[in-house]
């Protein structure tokens, strides 16, 4: 294995979005901001992601069938190397976890989101972007799932969380959240609507009362476990008139890459 190699892969897919399309345009927008010179390539952990890591950007998948995504990922990149996926809507986390499970038998997921995404089905679709973590837990792909920033829990979702043993940190309780420690290698899934719309207006679903940029970065920096992969999803460029949400996504990509290097 080459030292500090990191895969980047775009999944421009929003067919499972419910309220609004547009997230399929996100991977290229994130890359544009990352490389446009408006900021440098340093992470706050002190790593230059173009010098201290071998970035292996494999472009975007050509997705025509949701149920072929896992196979396409395994054909495109070597998941023995850490990988950051750029969505796309959050439905992509299920096939990503399926692909990761074929290489990493034991891993946990840290999930940032306004929504738990554990409906049994939504509008008749069991693979909606409102359902992926239910499918992941049913399949037994991960040992532990911690969902942080949640602020939209119905009785059905509460029942689902208890059924699957999901650890939910409601946004109203985040100030009391202890530092998270994981026993297994970790995958981090960031839905940008975890952040308050004041910080991330370029998302399809506005849920006021969310995290600040500094809060999510601080939690990421506290992670000491090796990180095998991550995704950044639900950026909708059609609602991001200022480009600030794409800049946030690029910033989070750098911070994720930084802890991948640091924790290796």
Specify the length of the chain in residues. Answer: 264
Q: pLDDT at residue 41 above 60? A: yes
pLDDT digits (tens, 9 = 90+) for 9-28: 999 999 999 999 999 999 99
Q: What average pLDDT does this structure show over 60-65? A: 97
Q: pLDDT at residue 257 above 80? A: yes
Give strand ranges (E) for 129-240: 145-150, 167-170, 186-191, 227-233
Residue 171 backbone class (left: φ over 0; alpha: ψ -120 to 50; beta: rest): alpha
**What token pair was written down for 39?**
């900021």
Give residue 4's pLDDT: 81
Give residue 31's pLDDT: 98
119 secondary structure, DSSP code: -
* Residue 192 contacts residue 129 (beta carbons within 8 Å): no
Q: pLDDT at residue 3 above 70? A: no
**Sole residue written with tokens 């969310």:** 210
pLDDT digits (tens, 9 = 90+) for 164-200: 999 999 999 999 999 999 999 999 999 999 999 999 9
Residues of the chain with pLDDT > 90: what percent? Answer: 98
With bands split at pLDDT 50, 70 and 90, how would you rate the model's confidence at 2?
very low
Give residue 1's pLDDT: 39
Q: What average pLDDT does this structure show over 221-238? A: 98
Q: pLDDT at residue 102 above 80? A: yes
Give residue 105's pLDDT: 85
**What token pair was written down for 200?**
């991330």
Q: In angstroms, rounded to a whole number, what is the distance separating the alpha carbons of residues 249 and 163?
A: 32
Beta bridge partners of 85: 9, 231
Mean of per-residue pLDDT scores for the chain:
97
pLDDT digits (tens, 9 = 90+) for 109-165: 999 999 999 999 999 999 999 999 999 999 999 999 999 999 999 999 999 999 999
Q: In angstroms, rounded to a whole number, what is the distance separating the alpha carbons of residues 151 and 207?
A: 8
Residues of the chain with pLDDT > 70: what percent? Answer: 99
């Amino acid at each position: 294995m080459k030292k500090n190699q990191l895969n980047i892969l775009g999944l421009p897919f929003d067919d499972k979005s419910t309220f609004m399309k547009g997230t399929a345009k996100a991977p290229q927008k994130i890359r544009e901001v990352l490389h446009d010179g408006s900021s440098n390539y340093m992470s706050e952990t002190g790593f230059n992601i173009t010098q201290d890591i071998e970035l292996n950007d494999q472009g975007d998948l050509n997705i025509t069938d949701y149920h072929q995504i896992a196979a396409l990922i395994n054909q495109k990149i070597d998941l023995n190397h850490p990988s950051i996926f750029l969505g796309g809507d959050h439905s992509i986390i299920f096939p990503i976890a399926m692909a990761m499970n074929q290489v990493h038998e034991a891993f946990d997921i840290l999930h940032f989101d306004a929504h738990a995404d554990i409906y049994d089905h939504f509008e008749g679709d069991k693979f909606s972007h409102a359902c992926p973590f239910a499918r992941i837990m049913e399949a037994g792909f991960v040992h532990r799932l911690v969902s942080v920033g949640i602020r939209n829990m119905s009785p059905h979702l509460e029942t689902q969380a208890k059924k699957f043993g999901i650890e939910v940190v409601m946004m109203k309780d985040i100030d009391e959240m202890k530092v998270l420690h994981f026993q297994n290698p970790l995958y981090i899934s960031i839905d940008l609507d975890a952040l308050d719309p004041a910080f991330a207006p370029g998302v399809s679903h506005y849920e006021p009362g969310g995290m600040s940029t500094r809060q999510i970065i601080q939690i990421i920096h506290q992670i000491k476990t090796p990180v095998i992969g991550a995704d950044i999803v639900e950026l909708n460029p059609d609602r991001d008139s200022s480009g600030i949400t794409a800049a946030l996504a690029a910033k989070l990509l750098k911070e994720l890459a930084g802890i991948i290097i640091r924790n290796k």
